[in-house]
Structure 1
Amino acid sequence: MENPFLIDFPKLGAPEIGYISVTEQQQQVPFEVKRIFWTYYTPESIVRGRHAHYATEQVLIAAAGRIIVTTELADGTIQTFRLEDPHVGLYVPPHAWHTMQYSHSAVQLVLASMPYDEADYIRSYDEFKRVWQNK
């Protein structure tokens, strides 16, 4: 099982003209992207996520603003990542419980390995521990 890790996307450009970051299929993203979604205008007091996945892998990118992501593995390993540079993404494997807290101006871009399927979500923390501790 992989641990969460940061991905540096190319940052092309210069301060006087701006930047572009790009990836092509499976160059920096370690899976085929099958779904893309974004979140925005999330109040700073709200903690989103609070789930893990059975199969879906994700890369989270703070396209704007700041996102604090906390991941927990079934063995109890907890990591906190501060995403605030749009050329850095966070790989979240399926077995990682994760939460996100946003600055009000944050826009989170998510690249996912699977189409949406509610059955892929583990929304109970106790179920997360039960499922993944035996792996």
Structure 2
Amino acid sequence: MKISEASIYDLPKFLDKRGNLSFVEELKNIPFKIERIYWLYDVPGGETRGGHAYKENSEFIIALSGSFDVLLDDGDQHKTYTLNRSYHGLYVPKGLWREMNNFSTNSLALILASTKYNINDYVRDYAEFLKIAKYEKE
């Protein structure tokens, strides 16, 4: 995968004086069927989450509260996305190395995943990731 395949999506936003509303619909607002949903919270200052790639899983990441950075790496290029609006989501296709850091106090990251949890889908060693990324580009 190339880093250019990742992108920020604007989600529907309905403004109301009683409070705003946004939503996500699989295969409409995001390019895959949702198989798993998880969230990150209470991340201590200075901690990094992620530090892996997926062979098959794609993700859609939303900062429901607070802010954090998502660093993506395709083996050649790096790009950092700052998520700080609950009506923006970052599409992360399979095959990209990802790290999440700079979590603000009380941040809440919602992650929608295209596959069910599978420990064998993870590439946790960066050197192994670089070998896979290089092979896929040849």
* Category of TM-score, reference length = shorter chain: over 0.9
Counterpart for residue 85 of structure 1: 85
In the TM superposition, what is the alpha-carbon distance from 1:25 to its structure 2 partner? 2.3
What are the equivalent positions in structure 2 for 1:122-133 lying under 5 Å apart?
Answer: 122-133=123-134
Counterpart for residue 110 of structure 1: 111
In the TM superposition, what is the alpha-carbon distance from 1:84 to its structure 2 partner? 0.5
What are the equivalent positions in structure 2 for 1:45-60 lying under 5 Å apart?
Answer: 45-60=46-61
- Structure 1-normalised TM-score? 0.94
Counterpart check, 1:11 vs 2:13: yes
Q: Taking every aligned residue pair, what percent have the same amino acid on both sides? A: 32
SS in 2 for 1:44: coil
Structure 1 runs, 4 residues or longer, greater than 4 Å off? none
SS in 2 for 1:27: coil
State the distance in 2 between where 1:85 and 1:133 align: 34
Counterpart for residue 32 of structure 1: 33
Which residue identity does 1:46 align to in structure 2? Answer: E
Which residue identity does 1:11 align to in structure 2? Answer: K
More helix by share: 2
SS in 2 for 1:134: helix
SS in 2 for 1:132: helix
State the distance in 2 between where 1:126 and 1:42 align: 26
Counterpart check, 1:98 vs 2:115: no
- Structure 2-normalised TM-score? 0.92
In the TM superposition, what is the alpha-carbon distance from 1:23 to its structure 2 partner? 2.2
CA-based RMSD of the aligned residues comes to 1.0
Give the number of aligned pairs.
133
Structure 1: unaligned runs, 5 residues or longer:
none
State the distance in 1 between where 2:67 and 2:26 align: 26
SS in 2 for 1:103: coil
In the TM superposition, what is the alpha-carbon distance from 1:13 to its structure 2 partner? 1.7
In the TM superposition, what is the alpha-carbon distance from 1:51 to its structure 2 partner? 0.3
State the distance in 2 between where 1:114 and 1:9 align: 21
Which residue identity does 1:121 align to in structure 2? Answer: Y
